[in-house]
Amino acid sequence: DSGVTQTPKHLITATGQRVTLRCSPRSGDLSVYWYQQSLDQGLQFLIQYYNGEERAKGNILERFSAQQFPDLHSELNLSSLELGDSALYFCASSKSGGGNNEQFFGPGTRLTVL
C-alpha cells in the first residue's frame, strides 16, 4: 500500500459525459501528479500540482482540468468524454518535485467510456 488513495476504483460512463476523479496524496507529500495509461500503452503525464499550484503540464487535453485543494487532495475533471478517453488514470505523490523524491502511485481509476 503506497499511502496514495484514489476514488472511485472503476467508473463506467457514456460519451459526452463529465466525470471527476479524486486523489489523496501520502501524508506529508506536497506534489501530486496525474497520469493516463491506455491499454498496453506507456504512462502519459498529464499535470503536476505542488502545494496547490500548477507546477507542470504534459499532454493534457483542453477537455481535462485538475486542481489541488488546500488539504492537498486533488481532483481530475474529464469532460465531453470520448471513447478514446477509456484508460487507467493514476495519481502519484511525492514530497516535493526535486532530486531523489520518488513518486508513489495510487491504485488507479479505471475509466470506461461507452
Kindly list the residues in this chain that would bind other proteins in the complex (CB under 8 A): 2, 33, 41-43, 45, 48, 56, 88, 90, 97-100, 102-108
* Residue that the C-alpha cell 501520502 belongs to: 26
E-state strands within the chain: 5-7, 10-13, 19-24, 31-37, 44-50, 53-57, 64-68, 74-78, 87-94, 104-105, 109-113
Residue 104 CB, nearest approach to other proteins (Å):
7
CA pair distance 114, 108, nearest whole angstrom: 19
Residue 12 CB, nearest approach to other proteins (Å):
16
Nearer to other proteins by C-beta: 71 or 102?
102
Residue 32 CB, nearest approach to other proteins (Å):
13
Nearer to other proteins by C-beta: 24 or 103?
103
